[in-house]
Amino acid sequence: MIRRLAFIAALAAAPAFAQNKGEIDWNRRVLIGHGQGAPDLNAPSIAVARLGAERAAKLDAYRNALEALKGLDLQSGGSLGTLLQNDSTLTGRVEGKLKGVKPIKTHYYSDGGVSLDIEVPLDELPPEIARLVKVPAGAAPLKGAGEGSAAAAGGPAPEGTIAQVAQGQAAVLGGDKPAAREKAIEDALRHAVEMAVGTKVTSTTEVQDFQSKMDQVLTHSQGFVKKYEILKEGMDGDVVQVTVRAYISNAELDKDLEAMGLLMARKGMPRTMVLIAEQNIGMAAPSAVWMRGEKALVSADLRIAENTVLDTLKNGGFRQLIDPEIAAEKAAQVGGMTTEITASQARKLKSLTGAEVILIGQVIALGRGEMPDLGPGWRSCTATISGRAVNTDNGDILSTGEATQNAAHLDDLTCGKEAIKKASRVFASDMIRKIGERWSKDVSGGNEVHLRVTKVPSFKTASDFRSALTQHVRGVKGVNQRSFSGGTQELDVTLVGSTEQFAQELEAKKLGKFSVKVTGITANTVDVELGQ
C-alpha cells in the first residue's frame, strides 16, 4: 500500500501528465503523447515491475497521441477523427507511424513505475492527412509522408512502393556479432513495414487498483519488403544498431519475383514437396504413385497435376523443391497416405526428405458431354483441384485452395488432361499468393512457435517460466500455455523473428532465475530443458 501511494503521489507531482495526455506543438511541429505505467506490486523485484510498467506507458502514450491527432480540424469541416473512423487503411498507416517512434523523456520512479513521452514530426504524417488538415494561422502547410527525410535521402521510390527509413538493433550474444547484425536488419525491416504500411492494433486491458493486469497487443502488418539497403550500422556497447532504407509494397506478392526471393531468404529458403493424386476421365478414383495397392499402379503420363504445380511454383520463386521421384518414393515408405496427411506423417516425410512444407491434394476430371457448337465429335470436360499446404514439423496449415477449369477436345482423355493443367496452374498460383502472404505476416508481424519445455518440477515453476519468456526474450509478443503434465510444459509463443534466433537467445541468456538448454529445433518448434 505504501508503494502504491508513493507512485500515485509521484504521478500527481508531474504537471505535464496532469495537464495533457496528448497535444500538438505547432511551434516545434510535433505530435506529443504522454504515457504512464504503474508497476505490478506483486512483481518479484523493482526491475521486473519496471519492464511491465514501461510497456504499459508506451502503449498509453501511443493511444494519447492518437486521440490528440483525431482532434485536429479538417479544412472542409469536421475532425480528423471522423475521417479516420471511415478509412481503416489510413488509420492503419497512422497507427504504424505512431508505433514506429521511440520514447523520449523517460522517467523511472523508485517503485518501478514509468512515465514517458513520444513525439512524431507532423511533416511525416501520411500525405492524405497533410492535404486535409487545417493548420493554424501563420503555420506552414504539412509536408506529408514521402516528402520528409526518408524519401529525400534516397530519391523517389520505385513505382508501387513506399520508401521508409527504419532502425533495428540486437544484442550480441556469445560474441557472435554477425548473428546480431542479421537480427538487427530483421528488426529494422519489421519496423519499416509497420511504419510504411501501418498496423492494426487490438488491445485488451484490465486495470484494477492502478495495476495493468493484462495488456495484449495483437499486431498484423500488411505489406512486404521489395528490397532494402543499409544506410548506417554501428555498435552501442554490446548492441548492434542498423539503419535501413526499405522499399515497401502492398501489391501482389506473387507477381514480384524479387520480393518473393527476399521473403524466401528471410524464411530460410523452405524446402517444398508436392503430392497430388489424380483422377482423369474414365478412372474410378484419384490415384498416385505414392499410394499403396492397386492405386499405386499409375503411369507417369498421369502425373499431370503434380508436374504443372511444380513448374508453377518454380516460376513463382520457389527454388527449393523436392524432386518428384524422391517425394513419391519417400511418401510410399511412410504409407497410409491418400489425399490427406496427418501431423505424424508430415514429420516422417520431413525426416526422410528435409521438406519443411508439403502441398498435398487431389484433382478430378469429369466429362460434360458433346459440344456440337464446336463441330462434330467435340467434347467438353471440367477439372477441380483442391489441396492444402502444411508445415511438416507441427502440421500447421499454411493455406488451402481450390480451383475449377473447363476444356474442350475431340478426345475425352486429352480433354481431361488439358482441364487438369489449367486448373493446376490456377490452383498453384493461388497457393503461391496465400503462402507468400502467410510468410510475410510471419516475418513482419509475428508467427506462432511451439515450445516444449521438459524438467519442469511444478506448475508454479511453469507459470514463472512462462512470465520470464515475455520479460527477458526479445521478439516474444505473447505466450499461451497449452498444457502441463508430468514435468513437461507445452507453450505456444507468438514470436517476431526467426525460430533459430529465438533458440539462440534462449540458450545464451539467463531468463531471470532460469537457464535453458535447447535440445531440438525445427522451423516452427523448439524443444528445451529447464534449469535453475
Domains of the chain, with CATH numbers? 1-145 (no CATH), 155-251 (3.30.1660), 272-441 (3.40.50.10610), 446-531 (3.30.1360)
pLDDT number for residue 198: 55
Do 214 and 200 contact (CB within 8 A), yes or no?
no
CB 456 within 8 A of CB 462: yes
Which cell goes with 159?
A: 513505382
Taking the C-alpha atoms of residue 24 and residue 119, their distance in angstroms, rounded to an integer, is: 10
Question: If the chain, 532 residues long, is cut into consecutive pieces of 10 residues, what is the mean pLDDT of each piece?
Answer: 45 42 88 88 72 82 88 79 73 74 82 86 80 80 52 56 80 76 81 64 40 39 72 83 82 67 78 92 86 49 85 89 90 82 86 91 91 83 94 86 93 91 95 87 75 90 86 78 90 80 79 85 85 74
What pLDDT score does 357 carry? 93
The three cell numbers of residue 259 are 520480393
Q: Is the dihedral of CA 222, 226, 231, 235 positive or negative?
A: positive
What's the confidence (pLDDT) of residue 184? 83
Residues 307, 237: Cα–Cα separation, whole Å: 53
Q: What is the pLDDT of residue 405?
A: 95
Alpha-carbon distance of 526 to 272, in angstroms, equals 21
Q: In what order do the strands lie in the sheet with 239-249?
A: 162-171, 239-249, 224-236
Would the CA dihedral through 492, 250, 84, 119 be positive or negative?
positive
0.75 surpassed by pTM: no
pLDDT value of residue 282: 86
CA dist 509 → 236, 282, 512 (Å): 19, 62, 9
- Give the pLDDT confidence score for residue 159 in this predicted structure: 67
> How many other CB atoms are there within 10 angstroms of residue 514's CB atom?
19
Burial class (CB in 10 A: 0-12, 13-18, 19+), 86: exposed
Instruction: In whole angstroms, give the CA distance from residue 500 to residue 520.
Output: 10
Q: Outline where 133-223 has alpha helix (H).
A: 149-154, 177-197
State residue 426's pLDDT score.
95
The CA radius of gyration of the chain, in Å to the nearest whole number, is 28
The pLDDT assigned to 156 comes to 61
pLDDT at position 169 is: 82
**pLDDT for 211:** 38
pLDDT at position 129 is 79
In the chain, the N- to C-terminal Cα span, in Å, equals 32
H-helix or E-strand containing 132? helix 127-132
The pLDDT assigned to 15 comes to 37
Question: Is-contact 372 390, C-beta < 8 A?
Answer: no
Question: How far is 329 from 236, CA to CA, in rounded Å?
Answer: 53
> Locate cell 513437461: which residue?
488
